[in-house]
Structure 1
């Protein structure tokens, strides 16, 4: 089975890149730089990047809004963003588990709700204070509900093609949880472990996406790799090494005209000045995997 061809497609030098979202309409990639509170839209055809810097201390996730513009989970608020002017409008400020908590990752479900979760203050990268996060849902009527708490590091979200199962990762639990999902109401039930990771070493599961066959592609923070997981049977199919330098791989999404290119975000290494060959914080693309993703959902509210 092919491990694919990995290439560094853009040296964004992200402090903490996260939440890639392929915009199928414009054929561009959206993602955030958490600590620079930046939203990036990158065109792989022209290699042109447009960036918006928000007046927040951080930003965890971004998705397009069907009515136009963007929706973000930034610091501790959901907000609309005018992509042309950069102006923001707060939708809702969440009641945090701790004043130091912040949004970390998010994604829209098949009905167009925006799910995003929080985490505690990081004592060091990838190691936050425990039990200070929660998973929230921004509904289409702009009301917000809390669904899972307490959470250590709220991360990957994916839904099956038939819209009946939701996968969720709280990184410090070292597992992917599955929930029965009611797409009509947005309710989660019957939680169970779909896949348990090895807890030896520093690697922790981060963001993930799902392919048309129902397999998850999970970025491993501190590992510089992506695991392909079959959550239906709880087995790892293969591992793709992304980088020996950019070890803080953070999230994944499928993109490209045929949704068969896997994009992987990463976080900057802690060195004060980047040295030659340091690809950390860059954006990677993996081709030739023989897999294809599902179109990403947008916020319908």
Structure 2
């Protein structure tokens, strides 16, 4: 098993999603990745077919900018807290993005310099709760968008909701401060949604999920974090093809692999990293057997408010040799008529 840098000093990344074949070295003679990194200040979208990976970044001033990994030239377009970005099915230039409490669609050709990508509002989430913002989003097997929110005032007003192909917004889980991570198991005999919930001691909760109608049912704790003698707490997570979960540990210097169906439910393995705050992990690469892990920089009083040189937070790592494979990410299957009404020339 080996871990290598994919990129360094990208800021405090909270999540990483790989949408297409990726190589950790990003060589220009290969098909480069389509990758998204979401963090408190950043969202990154990579390229599919050109010879250099590109990205969208929201810098600390709040602007959404477009860069390459090797040439950072900010191009401001939008402002706000960016939480996720997912591709739109059969539309390589369209992405659905979480921005504050809004879900928007943007058109962005990653092989061209576009200063102000076209965008449109799709939905407002938790509209009656002004202190809620989107915290993370993913897509289920049928192409529905599933996402959680967090409450900035520390109130138990956050929710988990879905947005379907016709933009019908439904709330399924309520009563907590922060949805820290969510993933759908695409192959379970009864489809499950796994959630890291701030109100249950950061335990991992499994919900029954009715894939056809999108309803979320009964829940149970499948991994009790309070019984683990480890530092940090779980954050974003991903799932491999064996149904095992890989969970980032914020404050825990690494990631853990957990079997949510095993007895007893305990940690299978721990993969340490030279970064205290680990934000998220996801599988990528041509065979989806590389685990990409994003980390966050830390700042400490003993270092005069600076980032300690020994901590590599703010880097993205590519871990090979785990002998597992993940799943290809799903795309949001937005109704064609809605797309055409927003971007008539895309059809």
The TM-score range, normalised by the shorter chain, is 0.7 to 0.9
Q: CA deviation at 1:47?
A: 6.1
Partner residue, 1:59: 82
Partner residue, 2:43: 38
Query: What TM-score, normalized to structure 2?
Result: 0.76
Asked if 1:224 corresponds to 2:221, the answer is: no
Partner residue, 2:13: 16
Asked if 1:133 corresponds to 2:138, the answer is: no
SS at 1:105's partner residue? strand
Q: CA deviation at 1:172?
A: 4.6
Of Structure 1 and Structure 2, which has the larger fraction of its residues in strand?
A: 1
What are the superposed Cα offsets for residues 153-205 of structure 1, whole Å, 9 maximum, x if unpaired? Answer: 21322222325222122245221111221111111112111111136675111
Asked if 1:191 corresponds to 2:219, the answer is: yes
The question of whether the paired residues in 2 share the 8 Å contact of 1:105 and 1:155 is answered with yes
What are the superposed Cα offsets for residues 89-109 of structure 1, whole Å, 9 maximum, x if unpaired? Answer: 110111257423221111100
Partner residue, 2:204: 176
Alpha-carbon distance between aligned partners in 1 of 2:266 and 2:326, rounded to the nearest angstrom: 19
The question of whether the paired residues in 1 share the 8 Å contact of 2:13 and 2:40 is answered with yes
The question of whether the paired residues in 2 share the 8 Å contact of 1:117 and 1:135 is answered with yes
Of Structure 1 and Structure 2, which has the larger fraction of its residues in helix?
A: 2
Q: CA deviation at 1:222?
A: 1.1
Alpha-carbon distance between aligned partners in 2 of 1:261 and 1:22, rounded to the nearest angstrom: 13
Q: How does 1:251-262 map to 2 (within 5 A)?
A: 251-262=280-291
Partner residue, 1:209: 238
Q: 2:327 aligns with which of 290, 294, 297?
A: 294
Query: What TM-score, normalized to structure 1?
Result: 0.87
Alpha-carbon distance between aligned partners in 1 of 2:230 and 2:128, rounded to the nearest angstrom: 28
What are the superposed Cα offsets for residues 190-244 of structure 1, whole Å, 9 maximum, x if unpaired? Answer: 211111113667511101111010000000111121110000122321111122x
Q: Which deviates more from structure 2 when the two are superposed, residues 266-275 or residues 188-197?
A: 266-275
Asked if 1:105 corresponds to 2:136, the answer is: yes
Q: CA deviation at 1:275?
A: 5.4
What are the superposed Cα offsets for residues 43-79 of structure 1, whole Å, 9 maximum, x if unpaired? Answer: 7996633225152321111111114211111210111
Unaligned ranges ≥5, structure 2? 23-30, 58-63, 65-76, 335-347
Partner residue, 2:270: 239
Q: 1:48 to 1:39 in 2, by over 3 A?
A: closer
- Bigger CA radius of gyration: 2
Q: 1:283 aligns with which of 303, 310, 316?
A: 316
Alpha-carbon distance between aligned partners in 1 of 2:247 and 2:210, rounded to the nearest angstrom: 24
Partner residue, 1:165: 192
What are the superposed Cα offsets for residues 31-54 of structure 1, whole Å, 9 maximum, x if unpaired? Answer: 234333533326799663322515
| Structure with greater contact order relative to length (CA < 8 Å, sep ≥ 6) | 1
